[in-house]
Homo-oligomer: A and B are copies of this chain.
Amino acid sequence: MSRSNPRVVSVLERAGGFASAQEVYRLMQREGESIGLTTVYRSLQSLVNDKIVDVLRREDGEAIYRLCGGAHHHHLVCKGCGETIEIEGGAIEKWAKTMAEEFGFRDVGHTAEIFGLCPKC
């Protein structure tokens, strides 16, 4: 079994928000780190098992990972040009917690994104 790889953690830290396995791999390549795609996948799985990393899914089904506990934010995405603005969740955090409690859910995370046309488009 492969161990949680500190180099992968480091990349996730620098990536800030979410990153897919493929993105982590590409980033490490670009930075001259020598690592195989297989190892990236195994490290991420291991990190998820250890609850160091959170996994969820993009709209297209690709798995995306982020460090747990790190401050998280949401996105305002332009349908026209793709510009993305990071925004605060505000009321959402409370909403998620309330809903989860109401239905007895534990170990809870959430996603929320807003999309529309930005002023330029």
Chain A residues engaging chain B, CB cutoff 8 angstroms: 56-57, 61-63, 76, 78-79, 85, 87, 89-92, 94-96, 99-100, 103-119
Which residues from chain B contact A109 at a C-beta distance below 8 Å? 114-116
Contacting residues, chain B, for A90 (C-beta < 8 A): 95
- Residues of chain B within 8 A (CB-CB) of A78 are 105
Collect the chain B residues with CB atoms within 8 Å of residue A96's CB.
114
Bound Cα distance A85, B119 (Å):
35
Please tell me if the beta carbons of B118 and A114 are within 8 angstroms of each other in the complex.
no
CA distance A23 to B22 in the complex (A): 28
How far apart sit A89 and B114, CA to CA, in the bound complex (Å)?
13
B118 touches A103 (CB 8 A): yes
